[in-house]
Amino acid sequence: MVPADSIKDLYQSFPPYLTSAANYPDRLKELYYGFGLNLADCFAYFEDHQAKMRPVPPDLVGSSLVISIKMVVEDYLTEICEFGIRMEAVFNMEHDFVMRIYDSHRFQDYQLEGKDEEEVIELLKQAFPKFREQKSPRWFYPGNHVYPKSPRTQYF
């Protein structure tokens, strides 16, 4: 089950202007729950499993290679896990992305039961040996939010 204490700890470790949504001051920004990985991990997984995956959709051919591979890997893992798996950019010094199982805004609406959640976690660990080293999923702060400009960046 998702450890609620770790959500609170993560929010408290950042200044309020980074953890509250700009347009909704009473609403906290979204956090992601899953396993950390880097772009190289995603590419390696794609190369190893490409033959089993659906081809890149025709409307994405010619667009960003990274986005195309990311989407194909997400769809493939969603099929394997029978649960919506997404890859999101994170604000973390060790990982570029999180293979997201839940997000903090909606996890209570679609959180898996204990056994089903354990099965999804085990399937992800089988897919990415790096996830076994992490032992269990954790919360990550998103890396794709727009943050307020600091005085140092106003002139760029």
pLDDT in tens, 70-91: 888 998 999 999 999 998 888 8
Highest mean pLDDT among 38-42, 90-94, 139-143, 149-153: 38-42
Lowest mean pLDDT across 4-18, 34-48, 136-150: 4-18
Task: Give the predicted TM-score (pTM) of the model.
Answer: 0.72
Question: Once rounded to an integer, what is the mean pLDDT over residues 32-47?
Answer: 89
Please say if the pLDDT value at position 4 is more than 60.
no
- Output the pLDDT for position 81: 92
pLDDT in tens, 10-29: 556 555 545 455 554 455 57
Find the helix packing angle between 65-81 and 114-127, rounded to 10°.
Answer: 130
